[in-house]
Structure formats: structure tokens, C-alpha cells
Chain A
């Protein structure tokens, strides 16, 4: 036991003494959270729009007022002619132009219908889609309020409610995904590099000749990363709470338990990689191309799995982070208990066992 403890202490000294490792371990999670939290957002705030109002009556005024005061839009320009529309888009700032036809209020009241044209800049399709849906929602809302005032025939109204993430804030989605990504980075990437490093500089041979058992060497190598990744999970959760107000409705104990299973899965992947890779570079390439990239793209972290082609949907099943994400979102945002996530948990456990068995088989005890 003392032998083993000495090994872990040595590992910690190595980690804390290496600046690059420290940056990856502690700087990266925080930097990524800030980047994902602030920069990459699907929802919009203050999108610049322009009006081309050919009517200028009290109704168009009310609609414009309602749009601009919604927080989602801010007024960029009031256009005076059709010709100015394209110019406005070309300037790049204006993302949407709303055109009211002449005599808007009059037509609406007398003929029972008036037209609004919405033009969006679809060079960014997601943005255009979101803008459009926000605009239509606001206009619809205005229409409803009109109908209430005049006693027209009741119209069937559908009321949409987004639950668990009512404002559709993307940070809510990014935090669980980010935790998965960081854990994979720290556990799989850093562990595989740490083990191959010993192979590369030749100390692994000395360790294997020593009375330390191979299993002690492996466990000794991974324990520091296990502890540090827990520290990372806690940091991300605190930052998410304090900086981005991401709620956490479920049980922390359950969450840490699941995180532990995911960490062990990632560690077993790291050991597997190090048993195949001979150099640190090879280990890094394998982790980046084989683990991080598929995790970012196929885990549902950024792109919804249900929108993928069937083949990729099947493929996403073998990505551990996918299952962790389902569980993490469930616990954090919906507050579900173990009875709702036991299937996913079981899958993660199965993956862990599978990977650790292969790596034990692969890890050449006798070089």
C-alpha cells in the first residue's frame, strides 16, 4: 500500500509541475465553459432588424413597438423604398426586414386582411429560422389581442409552452455536454498521454521490473486524473450556476454517481488507447480523432441526434457521451430519479466493463 501511495504522490508531483498539463486540466474547462456559454448561442438577443413601413398608421406603429420592445430585436433602420432593402442586407448588420403594405390598418379592418412581408438573411439558416419564428409569434400575439377587442368569432388558439428550458437557452444544453467533453479530455486524453509518456521515456520498463504489480501501475496512473476530473465537474457546475444561472433540479449525489461511471468509462478508454499507442503523439491523435471529435459531433451535444441520417443515429449509440448526456440532462434539468435513467446507466456500465476488459488483455504486462 505504501508503494502504491508513493506512486500516486509521484504522479501528482508530475502533473502539478507540468505547466501544459495544468493549463489543460484547469484552464481548459473554464475557457470552454465561457466560450460555449457566451459565444455559441442558438437563441438571439437584440437581432438588428429594419422596417419598411408603407402605411405608417397606428397599427403598424403598434406592431413595430411590440417587436422592438421584445428584447429579441432592435431597430437598425427605417427604410424608405424597396430599393433600400437589398442595400440593408448587404450592409450585413440587418438580419431581417419587415415590410408593411400601404393602408395596413384600413385594409385589415375593412377587408379583414392585410399583408406583412418578412424577409430574412438566410445566409445563416439557423438564425433566419429563429428570427422568423420569433417574429411570427409576436405578430400572431398582436393579432390575438386585436381579436379580443373586437368581438369577432373566436379563433382556436394554440399555446406553446417550452418546459425544462422555457427560454430555450442553449447554455442549459451546453453545460452537460461540456462536462462530458471535459471528462473525456481529462480522463481519456490525459491518461493515455501520461501512460505513453512513461513508455516513451523508458520508465515504464523500470516500473514493470519493479515489485509494483502492473495493475497497481495502471490504477496509480489513473487515480490522480479521476480525482482531478471530479474537481473539474464541480468547477463547471459552480460556474454554470453562478455565471449562467443554469438550474440544477435533481439529486447531486445521483449526478456524481453517474459522473463517476462515465469517468471510469473514459479512463478505461484512455488505458485502451495507451495500450495501443507507442508514443504520446499517437495517443493524442487517437484520443482527438477517435474520441473527442465523435463526442462533439455525434453525442447530441451540438447537433440533435434525431436529425441525423439513420446510419449515424445507430453509430451514436456506441458513443458513451450520448448516454451520459441523456442522464445528465435528465438529472440537471428535469430532476429525474434513478428509475428513469437506469437503462442508460446500465449501458454506460456495460461500456466500461467492455473497454476495461479489452485494455487489461491488451496491456502488455511483460512488454
Chain B
């Protein structure tokens, strides 16, 4: 449910590491409830851009706000209003499923009642009611990723950042994962997602493609295919990234 309110806006956002420019004056807006695909080859600057938006890195220059807060001055407020799930695994293998939920609920400041409520809702949705006391390490990867996503949006953030969330997951689970993303977006959560799977790029409302630190294209997948005269996002990506 995309609404016409900017939840993320970046203007000429730049990050240099010495003489290397990781992201070069990137400018874009993400609307509320939008699923925004952030594509690019390895090393194109996606991770750097995402780190600046989540408050892990300070930009060298340019402006950016996330959920209405400035990335320079209000990083702490941004952190309270976003969810994050990384390409590396985000939950603790040596904790049980319930302990993981309690832990993340706790660090995002949820009350015990809220955690209890959220954990029941979450386990029900994932059909894991009976496995709450099982160690996370006993779950298959796809389930872990779905759980990690549910945990990342448990505190009802305004934006959720997903850094290659479906890496190594089978196509069926990926499809289910995207159903979950759609559901959150429908409820008004803005989704900022990086991926290498071009079929997933087709699921996004809008897609930006980064090449060598710059955003080379930004539009709805349908438009991009039309502009670049391609049948699939895969073709678009290859044409741009080469």
C-alpha cells in the first residue's frame, strides 16, 4: 500500500573511503509502504548505502533522512524506527526460537506483555507453535530466514532493511518469504531490499540499479524493461551492469 509520503530520502549521498568513492552522489526517495529493490553487482556500493541509511556509517557528504530523522544527527532515533536483517544470519543459533524472540523484543524496548503477544502471533504465523523451545540451530535455513524477517518487523518499524535476505534459500521458501514481505508492505511498512535474484526484482514496486557507486536506473520493473527493451529484469541488469 504505497502512500505518497517519503520515508527514506537521499540527496547526493556520498561515501568515500580514502580516494575510493563507494557511493557517488546517489539521490532517491522511497515512499511509505513501498517495496524498494536496491540492485547492483557485488562492490557496486549497495552495502555502503544501506549502512549509511541504518546509521552504521556516517556519510561523507549529501543529505539523507530515514523515517523523518536525519542520518547525521539522529542516528539513535533512526535505529528505534527501523528493522534490519542481514545477508549473514541475524539470529542466535545457540538460543531457542522463543529466546531469540524475547531477546530481540527486549533490545527494541518491547514490554514483556508485548513480547509475549508478538511471539505467539509470530509462531502461529510461521506454524512453529510446537517448536518454541527448540534450538534455532535445529531449524532449516529457509525457516530461519522467515523467522529472522518476522523478528526484524516484530517491533513494528517504519522501515525494514533487508540485505540479501533470501541468499541460499530454495525457490518455494523464497516465494513464501516474499508473501511475508508483501503482507508487511500492505500494512504500511516500507521495505528496502537488496537482492541478486532478478525474479525477486520483478516483485518490487520500484527498483534502482547501482553501477560503480552511482544509481544508473530507477523505476518500476515494467518501465525499466520497456526503456531497456528487455524481456526480463535479468536482461536489464546485464545491459546496465556490464
Contacts and interface: CB of A to CB of B under 8 A. Distances in A.
Contact of B107 (A3, A17, A202, A205): A3
Contacts of A18: 94
B59 to A, nearest CB: 11
B57 A211 contact: no
B32 to A, nearest CB: 20
Interface in B64-80: 76, 79-80
Contact of A209 (B82, B88, B89): B82
B76 to A, nearest CB: 7
Given A6-B103, A14-B94, A367-B51, A205 B56 contact: yes
A201 B107 contact: no
Interface residues of A, number: 25
A9 B90 CA distance: 18
B93 to A, nearest CB: 7
Nearest to B91: A203
Given A13-B99, A14-B95, A202-B88, A209 B55 contact: yes
A13 B95 contact: yes
B108 interface: yes
Contacts of B107: 3, 6-7, 207, 210-212
A206 B55 CA distance: 11
Contacts of B103: 6-7, 9-10
B84 interface: yes
B86 interface: yes
Contacts of A2: 106, 109
B100 to A, nearest CB: 9
A201 B106 contact: no
Contacts of A206: 84-86, 90
Nearest to B88: A202
Contacts of A202: 86-90
A14 B92 contact: yes
Contacts of B14: none
| Size range of the chain B interface in the assembly | 20 to 34
Contacts of A6: 102-103, 106-107
B109 A211 contact: yes
A110 interface: no
A203 B92 CA distance: 7
B68 to A, nearest CB: 16
Contacts of B150: none
Interface in A260-297: none
Contacts of B80: 211
B233 to A, nearest CB: 27
A367 to B, nearest CB: 5
Contact of B79 (A9, A10, A209, A367): A209
A215 to B, nearest CB: 12
A209 B54 contact: yes
B92 A211 contact: no
A7 B107 CA distance: 7
B106 to A, nearest CB: 3
Nearest to A212: B107
A211 B84 contact: no
Contacts of B55: 209, 366
Contacts of B93: 201
Given A10-B99, A14-B92, A202-B88, A211 B76 contact: yes
A364 to B, nearest CB: 9
Contacts of B6: none
Contacts of B79: 209-211
Contacts of B102: 6
B106 A3 contact: yes
21 contacts: A3-B106, A3-B107, A3-B109, A6-B106, A6-B107, A7-B107, A18-B94, A201-B88, A201-B89, A201-B93, A202-B88, A203-B89, A203-B90, A205-B84, A206-B86, A208-B56, A209-B55, A210-B79, A210-B104, A210-B107, A212-B107
Interface of A: 2-3, 5-7, 9-10, 13-14, 17-18, 201-203, 205-213, 366-367
What 8 A-B pairs have minimum CB-CB distances, sorted nearest first? A202-B88, A6-B106, A209-B84, A206-B90, A10-B103, A211-B79, A211-B80, A3-B107
